[in-house]
Structure 1
Amino acid sequence: MQTFTTSGVCAKTIDFKIEDGVLQNVKFNGGCPGNAIGLSAVVEGMKIQDVITRLEGIGCREKTTSCPDQLAKALKEFIK
């Protein structure tokens, strides 16, 4: 299990697991529960690069980041 500490969003951390390049068990800790659960369900079982491509750069309100963008950053950090 990996844990990523977020920046600039309500969720404090994101936990996730990667098996064979596929995202599993995504959990946002803090933030908006409905959005976090929904986003986790949508990306479950997706290839890492597909998640990054779809979510990177999404902002929230007037911010330049969001929980989806932070997940993309976490995955990019993981594949370095």
Structure 2
Amino acid sequence: MYRYYTKGVCAKSILMDIEDDVLLDVVFEGGCEGALIAIKNLVKGKNIDYIIDTLEQIPCRSKGSSCPDQLANALKIYREFVYKKQ
């Protein structure tokens, strides 16, 4: 499990279970429960590059980021520093 502490959104952190380049499971701590369960169900089992491309730069109100965008950021960090695929 990898934990990413979010910035500028309601969710406090994101827990991710990743194997190679596939997101096996994701849990958001805090945030809008229904929306985050939907995101979890939509991205589970998907390739991290696909998730990044799909969720990156989605805004939430005037926050400048969103929980989906923060997930994309977390996966980019994982890809660069853990999986080492750029």
- TM bracket (short chain): over 0.9
What stretches of structure 1 move > 3 A for 4+ residues in a row?
none
**Structure 1 position 47 matched with structure 2 position 47:** yes
CA shift, 1:31, in A, is 0.6
Q: TM-score, normalised by structure 2?
A: 0.90
Cα-Cα RMSD: 0.6
**Aligned residues, how many?**
80
Note the 1:69-80 alignment, pairs <5 A: 69-80=69-80
Identical amino acids, percent of aligned pairs: 50
Alignment partners' CA distance in 1, 2:55 and 2:17? 17
Q: TM-score, normalised by structure 1?
A: 0.97
CA shift, 1:76, in A, is 0.3
User: Could you report, residue by residue, the CA deviation over 1:15-37 in whole angstroms, capped at 9, with x for unpaired residues?
Assistant: 00111310011000001100111
Query: Which ranges of structure 1 fall in alignment gaps of 5 or more residues?
Result: none
